[in-house]
Amino acid sequence: MRWPGRGARTTEAPPGVSGTARLGRRGERGTGPAYLRRLGPGDVAVIDQVDLDRSTATALLEAGVVGVVNAAPSISGRYPNLGPEILVEAGVVLVDDCGPGVFSDLSDGATIRLHDGAVHVGDREVLRGFAQDRDTVADLLDEARGGMSAQLEAFSANTSEFLGRERGLLVDGLGVPAIATTMRDRHVVVVAGGSGTLAELRSIAGYLREYKPVLVGVGDGAGALREAGHTPAVVLGTVAELDPGLARRADDVVVPADTDGHIAGLARLQDLGVDPVAFASSANPEDMALLLAHAHGASLVVAVGFDASLGGFLDRGRSGSIPSTFLTRLRLGTTLVDAPAVRALHRTRGSATVLALLLASVLVAAVVAAVALGAGPSLLQLVGSAGGAVEAWVVDVYRSVIG
């Protein structure tokens, strides 16, 4: 007689979490929209991002990743960034500070296993980093809170230095390249790359349909525009960031250059049929786009995918870019608004319109009812007077809402 299970081997699953490795771009901020769209449930995101920010962490969770392998420190101590805390609280395994070897030792699409700070391929340990958990993240965030004062001191010094270097650009618009796209007295929407960019674009779809603004895509922001169903008139970014297809379809391609006007990788772009114009500045590309729109006479500039908070500036991983962003926003002043404000105002204006139509329908129904009931001229005159008063009130409310 053969007993159930006799002779069968029981194999225990190896410890840790296994998933499919999805490699981002090596280098700073390798977690743009194109990479995040590649992620799916059960994947392990392999990234290189100092100070993992909240928006990226949220996007990783929404994609359903089971683990994150970061070549860089997810908390450097510059400021208390919330991305790592969001991940570990949700149960995502975070193996931190593994070094640049992740991009040579791991293959995109390979099955990897994360356990106790180590990265395994099959039975072999190929990498080792630091396993973050709730306690380690809490300790690092406490230390990072003390780093904010140092960041603010550096901000003050860097702002003076940047202003001295870019005074002509910020004050007089010197160095802004000529472009074929007409922006004078028009609305211009500048779209930066980020995990929340596509959602912001969709939230202002009504505004985009109504005003038909000039669209400027910065780096991965151009791809977000395409995914939302739009074609940017202007694309701006480094040669590595630009999508050749979008660049060929754009009216203008603007590429950051050094102080001598030299564009790194220019020959590559020209081989692809793209002839860009150089923008010589030490400002970051997002701010170059804002200054470009302002210098060419835009009546309103809408920023999509930008985080104007101090934490947002630091989240970019380039502390030296903070003076650029601060002084650029100061230069544009009231010409610049962010997408959430446009969404709120456009929605409010739509609500006022709906209210006016609703009240008009009520008045029409009142007149029809009065006629049906055989009302005399005096009652109809009263209804008409009431309608005029309500109409005036609706106009006043509508004007107050839209300014």
Predicted confidence (pLDDT) per residue in 299-335, tens digit: 999 999 887 666 666 555 444 566 788 888 888 988 9
Higher pLDDT, 235 or 274: 235
pLDDT higher than 50, residue 28: no
Compute the residue count for the chain. 403
Output DSSP code: residue 171: I
pLDDT at 365: 56
- Residues 23 and 84: their CA atoms lie apart, in Å, by 18
Residue 332, phi then psi, degrees to nearest 5 = -75, -30
Query: Per CATH, which fold does 17-144 belong to?
Result: Aconitase; domain 4 (3.20.19)
Query: Per CATH, which fold does 173-340 belong to?
Result: Rossmann fold (3.40.50)
pTM: 0.65
Angle at 194 between CA 188 and CA 199, to 5 degrees: 70
Cβ within 8 Å of residue 129, ≥6 positions away: 69, 70, 95, 96, 97, 98, 99, 117, 118, 119
Give the start-to-end residue ranges of the domains of the chain.
Answer: 17-144, 173-340, 343-402
- Residues 172 and 162: their CA atoms lie apart, in Å, by 15
What does the block give as tokens for 241?
Answer: 């960031």
Cβ(108)–Cβ(23) under 8 Å? yes
pLDDT higher than 90, residue 259: no
Beta partners for 279?
A: 256
Q: Which of 77, 60, 50, 138 shows the shortest CA–CA distance to 315?
A: 50
- Residues 164 and 168: their CA atoms lie apart, in Å, by 9
Burial class (CB in 10 A: 0-12, 13-18, 19+), 232: buried
- Residues 98 and 8: their CA atoms lie apart, in Å, by 40
Identical topology for domains 17-144 and 173-340: no
Instruction: State pLDDT tens for residues 206-223.
Output: 999 999 999 999 998 999
H or E segment to which residue 45 belongs: strand 43-47
Cβ(253)–Cβ(235) under 8 Å? yes
Instruction: State pLDDT tens for residues 77-134.
Output: 888 888 999 999 999 999 999 998 899 999 999 999 999 999 999 989 999 999 999 9
Angle at 352 between CA 349 and CA 358, to 5 degrees: 145
- Residues 313 and 397: their CA atoms lie apart, in Å, by 38
What does the block give as tokens for 320?
Answer: 């030296």
pLDDT at 367: 52
- Residues 11 and 334: their CA atoms lie apart, in Å, by 66
Cβ within 8 Å of residue 195, ≥6 positions away: 31, 33, 36, 55, 56, 58, 59
- Quickly count: other Cβ atoms within 10 Å of residue 43's Cβ: 20
Q: Which of 98, 42, 92 shows the shortest CA–CA distance to 70?
A: 98
Instruction: State pLDDT tens for residues 190-204.
Output: 999 877 888 899 999
What crossing angle do the helices spanning 134-145 and 147-165 adopt, rounded to 10°?
50
Cβ(86)–Cβ(57) under 8 Å? yes
